[in-house]
Amino acid sequence: MTTRITEVVARDIRFPTSLTLDGSDAMNPNPDYSAAYVILRTNRPDGLEGHGLTFTTGRGTEICVAAINALAPYFLDADVDQIFSEMAPFWRRIVSDGQLRWLGPEKGVIHLATGAIINAVWDLRAKCEQKPLWKLLVDMTPEQIVSVIDFRYLTDVLTPTEALELLRAQEVQKGERERAIQASGYPAYTSSAGWLGYSDEKIRTLARGTVEDGFTAMKMKVGLDLGDDIRRAAIVREELGFETKVMMDANQVWDVEEAILMMKSLAQFDPWWIEEPTSPDDILGHARIRKEIAPIKVTTGEHVQNRIVFKQLFQAGAIDLCQVDSCRIGGVNEVLAVVLLAAKFGIPICPHGGGLGLCEYIQHISIFDYVAVTGSLENRMAEYVDHLHEHFVHPARVENGRYLVPLEPGYSIEMKPESLEEFEFRPGSAATPV
């Protein structure tokens, strides 16, 4: 029988994380990790549903929910096989709606909503096929992968034909790589230890814990005050020595020249990368920073709005690593476009995981990149943050610094019904007020 979407439910889910300063950084001092959460109900007698979310940080989640509701008519009554039989045109229709497009295009709230609902469709598809998302993708032929990507605005740099060649060249090794990654897991790094709101003592304890937990790389927040950054970086290096990779994340607080100055001061701690040194919109600014502070790597991505900006970050030599976000851009389809663009330019992907459900999502993307696109783990790590996983039906699992390959059908993003119920936002409920 065909699987038809019979209902699109959008929910506003907020966790009061600002009370403990988990997730705090120089630009986001008090986030409430939240989600605009989508459930696609179907006509299936087994009650099969597709789930998706876009990560938000508290207030404004209701705006994303409104945007999901505005997109819902495209999905309601749609046949899942039909959607996937012409996936790229379907995706383009969503992002090109003759009226909603004005609100982006392909950026901000409307694109966050697109990410949530498109990911829910992929979750549904993967569950229909009884496969984890990464396996669904890995089992698709190069032609099938290319057929789900909208190459609009990319063809000056990557054509469908080139993408096809790139994927075909990897075909024969897929089986072997799949077995390898299942055996070894995918490398992770941790950001749990370095939030800006934590005390020095908590940073010290957590830094020590990262090595005990088997991580070989950790990230710390910087950017609010250089003196603080130096003191905290010294603590981290005292605990870890210089063998462990330490990355720094400024969350966009600096102007271009300021970023260069700051990183010259912080270079003594041998940061492996500086993340978001300035505005995510400043392609040329990143290129200049990278040139000035080499060999420190420069990276960005959690706020990079779409494939067109990634294209230019690669063209301009602006970043060393690509931190694509799984729901900032328009869901799996556009993530695949970015993964292929990155491969063409030889830029490793290190997806963004600092948020609710993002670790659950990105493990699938990184595994697909390894098995079907690049076959490389060099300079590649998926971010891991040890928060809020208990709310997921099949949470991401990291052991000894590596993601265990998920085996359950779907995109791993489905939350427990009792968590959705408990943390659904209603004025006056758990999340902190304005």
Catalytic annotation, residues: 221, 352
Residue 164 binds to its own copies (criterion: CB under 8 A): no
Residue 115 binds to its own copies (criterion: CB under 8 A): no
Which string of x and - marks every residue 12-41 that binds its own copies (by CB under 8 A)? Answer: ---------------xxxxxx---------
- Which of 42, 101, 43, 37 lies closest to 68, judged by CA? 37
Nearest CB to its own copies, comparing residues 9 and 235: 9
Q: Which of residues 268-287 bind its own copies (CB under 8 A)?
A: 278-285
Residue 108 binds to its own copies (criterion: CB under 8 A): yes
CA-to-CA distance for 340 and 315, rounded, in angstroms? Answer: 14
Q: Which of residues 223-252 bind its own copies (CB under 8 A)?
A: 252
Nearest CB to its own copies, comparing residues 109 and 128: 109
Q: The tokens 């290096």 sit on which residue?
A: 237
Beta bridge partners of 4: 79
Contact residue for its own copies among 8, 35, 38, 67 (CB under 8 A): 67
Retrieve residue 248's tokens.
């720094």
Contact residue for its own copies among 9, 224, 230, 256 (CB under 8 A): 256
Nearest CB to its own copies, comparing residues 49 and 325: 325
Residue 430 binds to its own copies (criterion: CB under 8 A): no
Nearest CB to its own copies, comparing residues 105 and 142: 105
Residue 111 binds to its own copies (criterion: CB under 8 A): yes
Residue 58 binds to its own copies (criterion: CB under 8 A): yes
CA-to-CA distance for 115 and 305, rounded, in angstroms? Answer: 11
Residue 255 binds to its own copies (criterion: CB under 8 A): yes
Residue 11 binds to its own copies (criterion: CB under 8 A): no
Q: Where are the beta strands (DSSP E) in 283-336?
A: 297-300, 321-322
3-class DSSP state for residue 6?
A: strand
Phi, psi at 152, each rounded to 5°: -55, 135
Segment interacting with its own copies, rule: CB under 8 A, options 40-48, 151-159, 215-223, 356-364 = 151-159
**How buried is 36 (Cβ within 10 angstroms: 0-12 exposed, 13-18 middle, 19+ buried)?**
buried
Q: Which of residues 290-349 bind its own copies (CB under 8 A)?
A: 303, 305-306, 308-309, 311-312, 315-316
391-429 burial, b at 16+ Cβ within 10 Å, e below that, comes to bbebbbbbeebbbbbbeebbbbbbbeeebbeebebeeee
Retrieve residue 288's tokens.
């200049």
Segment interacting with its own copies, rule: CB under 8 A, options 110-118, 167-175, 211-219, 401-409 = 110-118
Nearest CB to its own copies, comparing residues 239 and 282: 282
Beta bridge partners of 296: none
Residue 64 binds to its own copies (criterion: CB under 8 A): yes
DSSP string, 156-195: TT--HHHHHHHHHTTGGGHHHHHHHHHHH-EEEEE-TT--
In the complex, the smallest distance separating the C-beta of residue 105 from its own copies, rounded to whole angstroms, is: 7
Contact residue for its own copies among 153, 205, 238, 265 (CB under 8 A): 153
Residue 419 binds to its own copies (criterion: CB under 8 A): no
Contact residue for its own copies among 135, 288, 352, 402 (CB under 8 A): 288
CA-to-CA distance for 298 and 315, rounded, in angstroms? Answer: 15
Q: Note whether 142 and 164 are within 8 A (CB).
A: yes
- Size of site (CB under 8 A) for its own copies: 65
Residue 217 binds to its own copies (criterion: CB under 8 A): no
- Which of 150, 136, 171, 144 lies closest to 105, judged by CA? 150
Nearest CB to its own copies, comparing residues 277 and 401: 277
CA-to-CA distance for 382 and 325, rounded, in angstroms? Answer: 11
Q: Please give the residue ranges that form the binding site for its own copies (CB under 8 A).
A: 27-32, 55-60, 62-64, 66-67, 70, 73, 96-112, 152-156, 252, 255-258, 278-285, 288, 303, 305-306, 308-309, 311-312, 315-316, 434
